[in-house]
Amino acid sequence: MCGILAVLGVGDVSLAKRSRIIELSRRLRHRGPDWSGIHSFEDCYLAHQRLAIVDPTSGDQPLYNEDKTVVVTVNGEIYNHEELKAKLKSHQFQTGSDCEVIAHLYEEYGEEFVDMLDGMFSFVLLDTRDKSFIAARDAIGICPLYMGWGLDGSVWFSSEMKALSDDCERFISFPPGHLYSSKTGGLRRWYNPPWFSESIPSAPYDPLLIRESFEKAVIKRLMTDVPFGVLLSGGLDSSLVASVVSRYLAETKVARQWGNKLHTFCIGLKGSPDLKAAKEVADYLGTVHHELHFTVQEGIDALEEVIYHIETYDVTTIRASTPMFLMSRKIKSLGVKMVLSGEGSDEIFGGYLYFHKAPNKKELHEETCRKIKALHLYDCLRANKATSAWGLEARVPFLDKNFINVAMDLDPECKMIRRDLGRIEKWVLRNAFDDEKKPYLPKHILYRQKEQFSDGVGYSWIDGLKDHANAHVSDSMMTNASFVYPENTPTTKEAYYYRTVFEKFYPKNAARLTVPGGPSVACSTAKAVEWDTAWSKLLDPSGRAALGVHDAAYEEEKAPASADPVFRPPAHGESILVETGVPAAAV
């Protein structure tokens, strides 16, 4: 992941202003430690901090068209750049960078080219011929982008809030799937898939189409000129990513460059559910597996640094970001610069445990749509910033544009959790990869119950965080919380503690408004809390808050925290059933 900073229309064009912009750009150097670049044209500045993944030798940024009248600074990867270059035969490319194609597409098609890009990206493009500029962010918001306004009339764009928060009077999180044009002076949505309207789709379930679409999404993300690996928690999503990579790695260019032995990485407290499951998957796939450990105290010690980097006070995001942040540091120390990860599947397929209580297919589908639309504020933000803090790039194949279209076009009836039919959460995905002849995964991993990352690294992690917060936040502080923090008032001591740390780094009102709020249980939206009246009494983002669903639910902790869900291997042709302790009538 790279870091971009663009400042356009500044009132001061002195050397001091240029130095200030370079200084602010350095705040993003953790994202791109390999090289720095800046282009200035009159009162416009485009700066870049590069993490070299594709074409490390010649792809430094900013990038240009042939006569350098079009300048672009980009964070991201364009997976279909070779296909797009083939459409631009009259253009001369100066580098092997996948991102250079953006400058030439603009020359050829004007502002309406963004939907042609297949990848994850945020970019700012300056046309020096008329001093117009555009900025855009990928469909789901995998790559972060912020937009701000200075008192001098300048417009700012940055990969992270920390590079513009001090110099902008107001700033926002740039919405995913949108483009800003200086010619019109406003934002418009360029990403308009059928599912965005939340109308109920009706396509029949085709397991082979699901499987093939996902395999294509994974394979295209093996575009790299540097060593890479897979983040493997041992859950369904990351295990499928690792399995597909293992199956096709030998056929790719990257295998000829770095070998066909896949490296996988997992982190957890000793004895945690994820470590055990990940090792089993790694052994099954034959990967070079790296099991990393951390202690509750090490996680607590890192909290302030984590919040500074991920730029949020959302509880579940911080819980999950901390082990990911620690793991990323160790991965980078091993010489790996890119990893594939499993984010997005739960939002697309209704994989969170609270989906057990979805009353009907309409509400399930609408909730998955809401969850995907909000990913840039939660899991995408975590996966990107927790890894980028150490100059590591995370790619997320479940959020491939085509794969999302295929999965969200399904009749949501097939995503409903139906114990009477042997369907647990994400059954449509599990079944698509349930291949008897050439198995992708062992059966009990393929049908393992959902664990949120912050739970799976070890249940005592969240309990330790709560104890730490209780020691630092008094009852009187909570009593006055609504006066101290009138926006998104923290309702728990843990949330209050995170908020105080966040405000220390980002004290402006604009900063706190970039973070979403509202009640949640087991990562639900506020709307889905209405599905079960009992949930309103235990509003916690942990999967264990899904009372009566999670095997280690808060009120039902009878077994050791590391106990696995019970799995009974099925006879051939028999439906799969994971015993979750949920009465059939409750689901």
Q: Which residues are catalytic?
A: 2
DSSP state of 518: S
Per the CB < 8 A criterion, the answer to whether 378 and 314 are in contact is yes
Query: Does the annotation flag 36 for ligand binding?
Result: no
Per the CB < 8 A criterion, the answer to whether 157 and 4 are in contact is yes
DSSP state of 449: P
Phi, psi values for residue 480, rounded to 5°:
-100, 10
The per-residue DSSP string of 194-237 comes to: GGGG-PPP-BPP-HHHHHHHHHHHHHHTT--SS-EEEE--SSHH
**What is the chain's Cα-based Rg?**
23
Query: Does the annotation flag 456 for ligand binding?
Result: no
The per-residue DSSP string of 85-134 comes to: HHT-TT----S--GGGHHHHHHHHHTTTTGGG--EEEEEEEEETTTTEEE
Residue 560 token pair: 């050791």
Task: For residue 462, give the nearest of 353, 355, 323, 266 by alpha carbon.
Answer: 323
Task: For residue 114, give the nearest of 52, 188, 54 by alpha carbon.
Answer: 188
Query: Does the annotation flag 246 for ligand binding?
Result: no
**CA 291 – CA 278 distance, rounded (Å):** 8
How many CB atoms lie under 10 A from the CB of residue 479? 9
- First-to-last alpha carbon distance for the chain, in angstroms, is 42
Residue 299 token pair: 């996680």
**CA 111 – CA 385 distance, rounded (Å):** 28
Query: Does the annotation flag 233 for ligand binding?
Result: no
Query: Does the annotation flag 342 for ligand binding?
Result: yes
CA distances (Å), 413 to each of 359, 410, 417, in order? 11, 8, 9
**CA 481 – CA 494 distance, rounded (Å):** 12
User: Which residues line the annotated binding site?
Assistant: 98, 231, 267, 341-342
User: Which residues line the annotated binding site for ATP?
Assistant: 231, 267, 341-342
User: Which residues line the annotated binding site for L-glutamine?
Assistant: 98
